[in-house]
Amino acid sequence: MGRVIVVGSINVDLVVTADRLPAPGETVLGGRFAQHHGGKGANAAVAAARAGASVTMLGAVGRDAFGEVALEALSAEGIELTRIRRVDEPTGVALIAVGPRGENQIVVAPGANAELRPEDLGLDGLAGRGAVLLANLEIPMPTVTAALRTAAEAGARTILDPAPARALPSDVLAIGAILTPNEHELTVSIGNDDPVSALAELTQRHRGAVIVTQGPAGALLAHGDVRSRSPGFVAPRVVDTTGAGDTFAGVLAACLAEGRDLDDAITMANGAGALAVGAPGARQGMPSRGELDSFLATAERALSEED
């Protein structure tokens, strides 16, 4: 069993599903409300745990009812929580609108997530050779940078899911973590609106691999001048795309932690992402390892029959 350390956000998601998403300034009536567990960090931690990894979560929640609920949900997944901070700010909240094809609009109030500082991490003795550390950008950038650098120096493999989209500073790129942007996050990360030239520029400035996730189209792996494509999978059912990127990152981390090569890990992460969109909320559709293995085996048999 591989070890995955997730440094990131813990939120509660307040979700309204509607027949269509509102335009700016518009109110859409008739929505259906649900409360789900969320936060890009916590979501990825759950995805990694369900994929079979031993997961430790580093983050912060408030001293409120949302914080209690969030931690109970993570504990139920077998995630180790002794490194979670309790702070006076409220637990992070995401307001999510979901349209009829699973598309979404999200606004996040970071709350306690913004209070996670580099000195709070305590990675000594935790992130070492054989471990994989995964971070995202719903926590302060100095904390992300410190976590990635400390883990890399200790011999751990590092992954940065650069979401929500923002420019990546040079000191983060110098660490050489595996990056997992979608196409929008790719262009924002480097400040270049053209995806092809943005990827070329990013790989020139970044020492590590870049995996551009493209949903059903799969993923494009770039490292220096080398490019390769991993196939995607048609989702059996599309209900809500919230959390698909978190699922990809978490399963990628879990597969690398158990010793799989990068190409194999990307394929498994693509499969998990396809399954994750089949249920409402960020986590409900995240597959167990057995479900993921079964899905990939079925897809492989179908492909061999076509050949």
Given this model, what pLDDT does residue 152 score? 95
Instruction: Give me the catalytic one of 194, 246, 264, 307.
Output: 246
* Residue 279 zone, left/alpha/beta (φ > 0; ψ -120 to 50; rest): beta
E strands present in the chain: 3-7, 11-17, 32-38, 54-58, 60-62, 85-87, 92-98, 104-109, 131-136, 157-161, 178-179, 210-213, 219-223, 226-230
The arithmetic mean of pLDDT across residues 120-140, rounded, is 91
Q: Quick check: 266 pLDDT over 90? A: yes
Given this model, what pLDDT does residue 241 score? 86
Query: Using 50, 70 and 90 to split pLDDT, how confident is the model at 305?
Result: low
Given this model, what pLDDT does residue 159 score? 98
The arithmetic mean of pLDDT across residues 140-152, rounded, is 96
Given this model, what pLDDT does residue 125 score? 81
Cα gap 300→19, rounded to integer Å: 35
Q: Which residue has the tokens 């990894």?
A: 53
- Residue 15, token pair as written in the block: 């979700």
Least confident of 50-54, 95-99, 290-294: 95-99
Q: Quick check: 134 pLDDT over 80? A: yes
Q: What percent of the chain has pLDDT over 70?
A: 98
Given this model, what pLDDT does residue 208 score? 93
- Residue 127, token pair as written in the block: 């992130």
Task: Sort 119 into a burial class: Cβ within 10 Å, 0-12 / 13-18 / 19+.
Answer: exposed
Cα gap 282→187, rounded to integer Å: 24
Task: Determine whether 246 is an active site residue.
Answer: yes
Least confident of 36-45, 183-192, 295-304: 295-304
Query: Using 50, 70 and 90 to split pLDDT, how confident is the model at 126?
Result: confident
Given this model, what pLDDT does residue 304 score? 63
Given this model, what pLDDT does residue 97 score? 92
Which residues lie closer than 8 Å to 227 by C-beta, 6 or more apart?
A: 220, 221
The arithmetic mean of pLDDT across residues 282-287, rounded, is 93
* pLDDT tens-place string over residues 200-245: 999 999 989 999 999 889 999 999 889 999 989 999 999 888 889 9
Amino acid found at 43: N
* pLDDT tens-place string over residues 22-79: 999 999 998 899 998 999 999 999 999 999 999 999 999 999 999 999 999 999 999 9
Q: pTM above 0.85?
A: yes
Give the alpha-carbon dihedral of 261, 262, 266, 272, to 10 degrees: 50
Given this model, what pLDDT does residue 307 score? 54
- Total residues found in the chain within this entry: 307
Which residues lie closer than 8 Å to 81 by C-beta, 6 or more apart?
A: 57, 71, 74, 75
Mean pLDDT of the chain: 93
Q: Quick check: 1 pLDDT over 80? A: no
Q: Quick check: 265 pLDDT over 90? A: yes
